[in-house]
Structure 1
Amino acid sequence: MVISARAQAELPDFTGLVKENTSAVVNISTTQAPPAQGSSRFDQDQLDQMPDFFRRFFEGPNSPFGGGQPGRQQPLHSMGSGFIVSDDGYVLTNNHVVEGADEVIVRLSDRRELAARVVGTDPRSDLAVLKINAQDLPVVKMGKSSELEQGEWVFAIGSPFGFDYTVTAGIVSAIGRSLPSENYVPFIQTDVAINPGNSGGPLFNLEGEVVGINSQIYTRSGGFMGVSFAIPIDVAMNVFDQIRDQGFVSRGWLGVLIQEVNRDLAESFGLNRPRGALVAEVLPDSPAEAAGLQPGDIILEYEGQSINLSSDLPPMVGRTKINETAELLVLRNGDEVELDVKIGELPEDRMAREDQPAEPSPTAGPLGLSVVNLTDEQREQLGIENGVRVRNVGPGPALDAGIRPNDVIRKLNNETVNSIDDFQRIASNLPKGKAVPVLVMRDGQSTFLVIKTEE
């Protein structure tokens, strides 16, 4: 088919954008201990429907996707994509790309292969933060997924089926999609060709800015069928900041069970059209109960934002900071009522943290962080004799100084730190309002940071 000069002029040219952004995209390969019996990452139905070439690629003994002959125990290998968000080596990808991995390798565009540390993961949003030991890396530009419009051109760079730096393009098919498996992510739906191996890679707009992370496909064959879903970058960066700064993710919680308002319900409640989130149940001891929400209320607005579908509400609540007050506009008995609710923490997030193996973690109040003693094995691996590991960092001087979870503090104010007791003693006696040095080991390298206590 011959494309007219006019039509050709109206089509976007991706060549310059691809050249500008390819270097910040990475390939991620993982290795996992073998299962009881050899198995493939893809089920037999998916394999049967693949072309012969791809089936041999996945099932072959040298397949990077964990193929092998039945009965032979082999490590499982998988591939995915990701992108660099800071020049000191932070990488964003999907949680399902690295979940259960014993080894994670990040391959850069210059063909360097670097071992990555999993800083933290958030299965609920299917996001993971990795850290590689490198400096002055190329980074992507961040856009605003909230400004995306239906019909807008977008393109993806990733490694489908292991073919590095593959570029595919399409349009935004829909925004704010709610999938059955996840209520807290308003997915971007596109028709960009996404296949196994694209997961975790960036979705760009025509400004060359990342607006999403390719995460899921809807398929009946195991391959691309024109329906792909990406995590909005606004959601992803909120998760990234929390994992980087505090090591875990917290989401806002209202404490209601809601349902869609259909045409009949809208008529029965006196609405001129279906809209809002109908409260079916208010959970006991929840922020909603404390605010006076009642079954039968229809939440029309949250913080001034209209609720068109009931699925619009959970992501809005989830992005709200814990203990922040939000304003609701509610339809109750035909009248519009304004309610203020103090948002709590989603119980599942809190329980997930509390279910982690317990270890002592006394907090040094003046600095706003908690530390734990190093094990003998950790000392041996790091090649050091002294230090304490940072477990959590909250708001305060430590966070301002750039100290992060899993850093090892070896000296504080020029005094050697051998244990939690040493750290607490030194931290408690730091001069008020004065900058002092702290020696930190991060990713095998030691560096001095400056910490200043409050006056």
Structure 2
Amino acid sequence: MKTKELFRKQFSVALLSAIGALFVPAAAGLAPSALAATSVAGLPDFTDLAEKAGPAVVNIRTTERVRSNASGAMTQDEEMQEFFRRFFGAPLPQQPAPRRRQQPNAAPEVEEQVPRGVGSGFIISADGFVMTNAHVIDGADEVYVTLTDKREYKAKIVGADKRTDVAIVKIEGSNLPRLTMGDSDKIRVGEWVVAIGSPFGLDSTVTAGIVSAKARDTGDYLPLIQTDVAVNPGNSGGPLLNMRGEVIGINSQIYSRSGGFMGISFAVPIDEAMRVADQLRTTGKVTRGRIGVQIGEVTKDVAESLGLARAQGALVQRVEPDGPAEKAGLEAGDVILKFNGTQIERSSDLPRIVGATKPGSRSTVTVWRKGAQRDLSVNIVELESDQTAAPQQQNPKAPRSANMLGLVVADLTPTQLRALNIDGGALVEMSEGAAARAGLRAGDIVLRVNNTDVKDSRQFNELVAKLDAKKTTLLLVRRGDSSQFVTVKPLP
């Protein structure tokens, strides 16, 4: 019995030791990892960031002057204008003002300031320069800036640029809190970001989210940052901050079907905004370069047909007559691959790069033409308003039988060639079959078949007759004032 009892005690001690050996060290070893995992999996703390950045974010309210009679009532015309502005976002089309007849007992008209809008902004210098959106101050007669400590200043509009939606206003102050600018080129999809602003007029509101995408193209000069940060009307002009409290963007747009936040918001990259701001502070306006081309995307089919390794660059659809590009030798159908050595990945890259080039300078444009690269030197001029193109004339000749592509073409008259500023081409009189399915229509002008320029209708038909009916044909087609490549695929 004693032997058995002793064995049981020894066995129990050994068993407990074994259990202890299994669980105690494991628990001790896992504790730091578990704590680390909890720390990694938890949400970041934004309190210090908000406390530090908040004082430099301002509320912006704007007013406009309206006329009313002494009783404070607007005239009927002014009431209609105000109705259209508030509910449709645009003024009533301007009509010639009727001649007013003075009524014997009519109250004299007076001018008063009425609220126009509310937005956000942030201080970028201790002496009072404030950055916001151009649309926040658009049409305002007076701009008022309110700090978080309730100090209010009447601001002076320094300048605004509608193309990038960036504006600068100035308040009189010193030693003002300001934000540090970050590097929007270094942001990564998925990183945490914070927005501070005045949604619906609620100032000093902090929201957080992540970067959803970079370089969303919504305009010629706006490669926007997409986030899922809650941004609502009134947030416009406020800063988008990284976790270091640096400004990486200006909250500018939202995607919404209801007018409220729906999970997608856009910010102007601060790198782009600061380039604009520097010009606004210096001259009050933004000067951009241009070369005088109309461009489009290079699709996969077009890239393959032209012999490009991949779809890249900007397709020249139209060259402005007597413009810098034409003088440099650019032609419709060229694909611009580089500008001053900088690769053009998408067509939207080109306007931003050219726009940032100083007018009066010369630049090198690398184009792809007929299977080979060539460098052209172009003079940069200042961007001006677009010109309206003259309507294209039609050739009145009667159609004949369609060729293999389904096109009936005719020659262009010398007058048409001069008006269109082209050396040759074939005018489409009728389109059917494969050509019609590709989108060609009467009035189009075929300038090139694959890599061969078209001189007239006879040569065009000869080129088509030699094509392989089972292969896709690439046509350079002019419609109106622009040119584009069209792939005509054989019918099944």
Scaled to the shorter chain, the TM-score interval is: 0.5 to 0.7
Note the C-alpha offset of 1:236. Answer: 1.1
Note the C-alpha offset of 1:340. Answer: 2.8
Report the equivalent of 1:328: 365
User: 1: distance between equivalents of 2:84 and 2:385?
Assistant: 32
Matched, 1:211 2:211: no
Please tell me whether the aligned partners of residues 225 and 249 of structure 2 are also in contact (alpha carbons under 8 angstroms): yes
Report the equivalent of 2:211: 172
When residues 120 and 44 of structure 1 are mapped into structure 2, their CA distance, relative to the original with a 3 A threshold, is: closer
Matched, 1:9 2:40: yes
When residues 208 and 340 of structure 1 are mapped into structure 2, their CA distance, relative to the original with a 3 A threshold, is: farther
Report the equivalent of 1:223: 260
Of residues 36, 41, 47 in structure 1, which corresponds to 2:79? 36
Matched, 1:295 2:295: no
* Paired residue secondary structure (1:348): coil
Please tell me whether the aligned partners of residues 319 and 332 of structure 2 are also in contact (alpha carbons under 8 angstroms): yes
The one-letter code sitting in structure 2 at the alignment partner of 1:333 is: K
Report the equivalent of 2:71: none
Note the C-alpha offset of 1:127. Answer: 1.6
Note the C-alpha offset of 1:147. Answer: 2.0
Report the equivalent of 1:87: 126
* Paired residue secondary structure (2:267): strand
User: 2: distance between equivalents of 1:149 and 1:26?
Assistant: 27
Please tell me whether the aligned partners of residues 89 and 131 of structure 1 are also in contact (alpha carbons under 8 angstroms): yes
Please tell me whether the aligned partners of residues 64 and 113 of structure 2 are also in contact (alpha carbons under 8 angstroms): no
The superposition leaves residues 312-351 of structure 1 with CA deviations (integer Å, 9 ceiling, x where unpaired) of: 211111122222333322211111222232221111399x
The superposition leaves residues 78-123 of structure 1 with CA deviations (integer Å, 9 ceiling, x where unpaired) of: 1100001111111111111111112211001211011011111112
The one-letter code sitting in structure 1 at the alignment partner of 2:267 is: A
Matched, 1:337 2:363: no
User: 2: distance between equivalents of 1:260 and 1:349?
Assistant: 20
Write the mapping of 1:191-270 to structure 2, written as runs, cut at 5 A.
191-270=228-307
* Paired residue secondary structure (1:78): strand
Of residues 50, 53, 58 in structure 2, which corresponds to 1:18? 50
The one-letter code sitting in structure 1 at the alignment partner of 2:49 is: L
Please tell me whether the aligned partners of residues 25 and 81 of structure 1 are also in contact (alpha carbons under 8 angstroms): yes
State percent identity of aligned pairs.
55
User: 2: distance between equivalents of 1:212 and 1:277?
Assistant: 27
Please tell me whether the aligned partners of residues 251 and 349 of structure 1 are also in contact (alpha carbons under 8 angstroms): no
Corresponding residue pairs, total = 319
* Paired residue secondary structure (1:257): strand
Report the equivalent of 2:341: 304
* Paired residue secondary structure (2:262): coil
Larger Rg: 2
The one-letter code sitting in structure 1 at the alignment partner of 2:51 is: K
Of residues 132, 146, 159 in structure 1, which corresponds to 2:185? 146
The one-letter code sitting in structure 2 at the alignment partner of 1:142 is: M
* Paired residue secondary structure (2:221): strand
Note the C-alpha offset of 1:256. Answer: 0.7
Of residues 98, 108, 118 in structure 1, which corresponds to 2:137? 98
Note the C-alpha offset of 1:44. Answer: 8.1
With structure 2 as the length reference, what TM-score do the two structures score? 0.61
Report the equivalent of 2:351: 314
When residues 207 and 127 of structure 1 are mapped into structure 2, their CA distance, relative to the original with a 3 A threshold, is: same
The superposition leaves residues 233-291 of structure 1 with CA deviations (integer Å, 9 ceiling, x where unpaired) of: 11111111111111211111121111111121111111232111111111123222222
User: 1: distance between equivalents of 2:291 and 2:149?
Assistant: 47
Report the equivalent of 2:383: 346
When residues 39 and 75 of structure 1 are mapped into structure 2, their CA distance, relative to the original with a 3 A threshold, is: farther
Please tell me whether the aligned partners of residues 292 and 320 of structure 2 are also in contact (alpha carbons under 8 angstroms): yes
Deviates more, 1:337-346 or 1:263-272: 337-346
The one-letter code sitting in structure 1 at the alignment partner of 2:284 is: G
Deviates more, 1:26-35 or 1:99-108: 26-35
Note the C-alpha offset of 1:228. Answer: 1.0
The superposition leaves residues 49-89 of structure 1 with CA deviations (integer Å, 9 ceiling, x where unpaired) of: xxxxxxxxxxxxxxxxxxxxxxxx99243110000111111
The one-letter code sitting in structure 2 at the alignment partner of 1:294 is: E
Report the equivalent of 1:184: 221
Report the equivalent of 2:315: 278
When residues 116 and 193 of structure 1 are mapped into structure 2, their CA distance, relative to the original with a 3 A threshold, is: same
* Paired residue secondary structure (1:91): strand
Please tell me whether the aligned partners of residues 63 and 113 of structure 2 are also in contact (alpha carbons under 8 angstroms): no
The one-letter code sitting in structure 2 at the alignment partner of 1:228 is: S
